[in-house]
Amino acid sequence: MQLAVKEKLSKIKGLPIENIFLGNGSDEAIDILFRAFCNPGKDNVIVCPPTYGMYEVSANINDVGVLKVPLIPETFQLDEATILKSINATTKLIFICCPNNPTGNGVAWNSIKSILEKFNGIVVIDEAYINFASYKSLIPELLNYPNVVILQTLSKAWGLAGLRVGMAFASEPIIDVFNKIKPPYNINVVSQKLALDALDNMQQVNSWIKQIVEERERLRKEILQLFFVEKVYDSEANFILVKVETPELLYYYLTQNKIVIRDRSKVMLCEGCLRITVGTKEENDLLIETLKKYK
Ligand SMILES: *Cc1c(COP(=O)(O)O)cnc(C)c1O
């Protein structure tokens, strides 16, 4: 049955099924990357904070070391020189989240390319938010780089996080290893059936994506006008990062008004920042109205 989902994805992504792995969410693919390519207690991986927390959680569970090379402040681009200097003989994976969570920016292709060419290990490009971006997936680069693994998911643009269906795209030898490690029935048939239905409905998903991108830009403009907002970062995702004077107070005020966002103000390089997910037009209207009343 996974074959049917893979065949559908193969048509959509323009990739042979031999280059497609299906995971119990892309989080399973992240875990398998550690189990396949890292020796516990010996090897390490590079992550670039602030970024998706699961890379480090999964590294810890697998007893794999984490070398942290922070992104460049404010632009949140890769610090390519420091990444290259940090690589040592036991560095097996480098995680690049693009668009990045929680900052929302895309990552310059030049620096990804340079890392792909100079690193003798696997570069993981996490494209969980690619559907909201103004640029295209790096899937075509699979032909040029046998050491890249691209992660995507039905959890974000499709709104199907509960199904737990994620994908990894990579060269055939890497996908073969993934398939040897995964449990035989890692995705239940109900999820597979619903994933097939969702993938049959690309038009619907594309119209949702278009709406979210429009709403994101409207939200950015509206939020930028609020007196307590210091900065609204550009976003290629379905959320925006906003720097404010008093993040905790604003977060509390919103929860009192039954609006839940994410307080990222304690996260490295995100001091003062809140992460706001783009909602429906009605939800966004309510958010803006509520923010305008904040004193
Ligand atoms: C949500 C998210 C994922 C995980 O997605 P699942 O497919 O639900 O496991 C992976 N990477 C990033 C950056 C995410 O934000």
In angstroms, rounded to a whole number, what is the distance separating the alpha carbons of residues 289 and 283? 10
What are the two backbone dihedrals, phi and then psi, of residue 246, each rounded to the nearest 5 degrees?
Answer: -130, 75
Q: Would strands 91-97 and 122-126 be described as parallel, antiparallel, or unpaired?
A: parallel
Asked if residue 126 has its Cβ within 6 Å of ligand 1, the reply is yes
State the pLDDT at residue 295.
82
CA 283 to ligand 1 centroid distance, Å: 23
Given CA atoms 111, 26, 208, 189 in this order, what sign does their dihedral have? Answer: positive
Residue spans of the chain under pLDDT 70: none
Q: Which tokens is 252 given?
A: 């509390």
What are the two backbone dihedrals, phi and then psi, of residue 195, each rounded to the nearest 5 degrees?
Answer: -65, -40
Enclosing H/E stretch for 152: strand 148-153
DSSP annotation of 99: S
Asked if residue 25 has its Cβ within 6 Å of ligand 1, the reply is yes
3-class DSSP state of 257: coil
Q: From 155, 163, 167, 277, give the residue whose CB has the most ligand 1 atoms within 8 Å, as the site to mutate.
A: 155
Measured CA to CA in angstroms, residue 199 lies from 13, 159, 271 at distances of 11, 12, 39
CA 154 to ligand 1 centroid distance, Å: 9
* Beta-strand runs (E) in 51-131: 65-68, 91-97, 122-126
3-class DSSP state of 231: strand
State the pLDDT at residue 16.
97
Asked if residue 50 has its Cβ within 6 Å of ligand 1, the reply is no
CA 33 to ligand 1 centroid distance, Å: 14
Measured CA to CA in angstroms, residue 99 lies from 41, 76, 96, 162, 216 at distances of 31, 11, 9, 22, 15
State the pLDDT at residue 67.
98
Asked if residue 247 has its Cβ within 6 Å of ligand 1, the reply is no
Residues sharing a CB contact under 8 Å with residue 100, sequence separation 6 or more, in sequence order: 50, 51, 52, 71, 76, 106, 107, 237
CA 195 to ligand 1 centroid distance, Å: 16
Contact 82, 67 (CB under 8 A): no
Q: pTM of this prediction?
A: 0.97
CA 26 to ligand 1 centroid distance, Å: 6
| Nearest CA residue ID for atom 12, ligand 1 | 128
Q: HSE (CB half, 13 Å, CA atoms) of 80?
A: 14
3-class DSSP state of 260: coil
Given CA atoms 178, 183, 184, 189 in this order, what sign does their dihedral have? Answer: negative
